[in-house]
Amino acid sequence: MCGICGELRFGGAGEIGGELAAMRDLLVHRGPDSDGLYVSADRRAGLGFRRLRIIDLSANASQPIASEDGSVRLVFNGEIYNFRALRERLVASGHTFRSHSDSEVIVHLYEELGPDCIAALDGMFALAVWDDRRRRLWLARDRAGKKPLFYYRSDTLFAFASEMKAFFAHPEIPIEPDPEAVPSYFIYGYVPAPATVYRHVRQLEPGHMLTVAADGAVRDTCYWRLQYPREGAVRPIARAEAVAGVRDRLTRAVERRLVSDVPLGAFLSGGVDSTIVVGLMSRLMRERVKTFSIGFEGDPAYDETSYARLVAGRFGTDHTEFRVTPSSIDLVDTLIWHHDGPFGDSSAVPTYIVSRLTREQVTVVLTGDGGDELFAGYLRFYAAVLSERIPRAAGRAVHALLSRVAAPPNDRHWLARGQRFFRSMGTPLYERMTRWNALFYEDLDRLLRPDFAASLSPIDRLQYIAAALPAMDGRSTLGKVLHANFVSYLPDDLLVKTDRCTMANSLEARSPFLDRELVEYVAALPDAMKLRGRQTKVILREAFADLLPREVQRRGKMGFGVPLGTWFRGELRDYMRDLLLAPDARYRTMLSETFVRQLVSRHLSGEANHGHQLWSLMCFERWLQVLPSWTRARSSAIPPAATSAALSAPPR
């Protein structure tokens, strides 16, 4: 796992200078063990690298790594799980290896097949190859989007990096907030790919590759996309065959992710997905599995540690537990820095802390990420199917009744979920599912200042799935929402959070549930094997019934959230008020101060629970405050705004 960056100059631009090393060193947290740099003979192409040693700890595996004749150079972030089989094939073809790394396999495979080698790579990756003979730069990102890759292009420069903060060190790359991204952030809590929060920076989409010629011409190609079968075209399969198929594929996926030359462990929430991963690890590993979980002070509705302890006892793991208190909000600046801007998912707080705790003992961790997305684990999937069966008039009547009830204590209360469900009953499916997940939807117009909104392009609240709509046409209701979730929330929220929070602590996270073979197999299974009534993950639970304790089988979905509602009415009340109600708050040029004040007032009075909305506003305001210091000293290794928060330990 590493940090990569690079640049290509053309159109009369000057030569590569010290900015490439400065970009590289802003990624030191992704690779603290060593660094590397390559600049072509004409100084027009360059690659930078920070290394976190995982496989082949020797210097022979350091990057940028070259082909035998030096004409191909690679920087690579991620893991290739089938690299041993590929290596055997390449050795038989006459290639000479000087390391035992997976990165060198990519170099020789590119020599054989060029960009077509992407089809053979099984893993998580963001990579860049400079082909000196063909004078081209080739970039690629893995199928699910586990590893990030951003780029900037002008008339004279193409630059790329694992994180956008690398561009803060490049004096020729303008870092300007994109006003068009503001509505997206407040609808979804993130800016959907390929856009970013910065005007001139783009992200390479999952399953895509980019070829950049020596003259700067760019060609973006989609090499893979997940396909759900059309309704009525689902292949029949016997239940026993499906159970065996899921069990075999997930077991192999876990086994492939145990290859490491450094210690590894697992995140354990006590839910179905992480329990299965830990159970399989305990059977596949000789030593005790190290497991790590986190709990929350202030609201038992957000604490899963009792289930995690139960699972740890079941499999005899070496278990470590940590508890998050409201003082952990001190991490807000750190999280903004590591996400390169505002990020609306507050579960980044516990994810960051459990990652730091885990890194004290291991360097690689397996997670349950992707299980809910693959096997329809979220309640919103059941809600989507159910909502298609309820008459609209009945839905509106129930909504009118529930809207008169006092605000529930937290957003996980049955009443809060019921209110969200029935509030959107009169809308089409895609709008309905977007409303359920949105931070701001119908109230977005009240949040944005009228003059600011008038300066923007028309706001399309379904823009985040617009490109995927043709692929969802003709699919079942469940197929549509699973597909939409796989191409939006998964790569733009969940995987972003996991990557940034783990890599901020130099920890590699691996996701067995996002194994390519497993993902494609499960997508093709009948809906009833994923969701049956209210029961989620039907076939997964059957396939691993022997690993799941009865308590885990029977428990409802909790999710990895934070009790913001409680915290903002308690210990964090003053912090939230001081930040959002300050007379010089910077958001006021774009957002309505009156509406924000109303949100704060209604939340503190208990009239409503606006915890998630207030969190998104706080992150946005702090980003606007610290951004100037990030870009002021373009040659600094770490901007002033990041140092105190990022390098200090939160209270225990």
Residue whose entry in the numeric block shows the structure tokens 């089409």: 428
Which is nearest to 80 in space by CA: 116, 136, 119, 114? 119
Total number of residues shown for the chain: 652
Please tell me which residue in 2, 5, 117, 619 is annotated as part of the active site: 2
- Per DSSP, the three-state class of 155 is coil
Catalytic residue flag (residue 117)? no
C-alpha 564/C-alpha 566 separation (Å) is: 5
Report the amino acid identity of residue 117: C
230 φ/ψ angles, rounded to the nearest 5 degrees? -65, 150
Four-point Cα dihedral 253, 254, 259, 263, nearest 10 = 150
Burial class (CB in 10 A: 0-12, 13-18, 19+), 451: exposed
Tokens representing 176 are 């300007």
C-alpha 34/C-alpha 28 separation (Å) is: 9
C-alpha 45/C-alpha 309 separation (Å) is: 52
Report whether the peptide linkage leading into residue 628 is cis, meaning its omega lies within 30 degrees of zero.
Answer: no
Q: How does 106-126 read in b/e, with b if 16+ C-beta sit within 10 Å?
A: bbbbbbeebbebbebbbbbbb
Helix (H) or strand (E) holding 321: strand 318-324
22, 637 Cβ separation under 8 angstroms? yes
Helix (H) or strand (E) holding 361: none
**Any idea what DSSP says for residue 466?**
G
C-alpha 367/C-alpha 365 separation (Å) is: 7
Helix (H) or strand (E) holding 552: helix 550-554
488, 193 Cβ separation under 8 angstroms? no
Which is nearest to 419 in space by CA: 396, 443, 399? 399
Report the amino acid identity of residue 392: R
475 φ/ψ angles, rounded to the nearest 5 degrees? -90, 165
C-alpha 89/C-alpha 83 separation (Å) is: 10
471, 478 Cβ separation under 8 angstroms? no
C-alpha 123/C-alpha 514 separation (Å) is: 9
Tokens representing 47 are 């690659």
The catalytic residue positions are 2
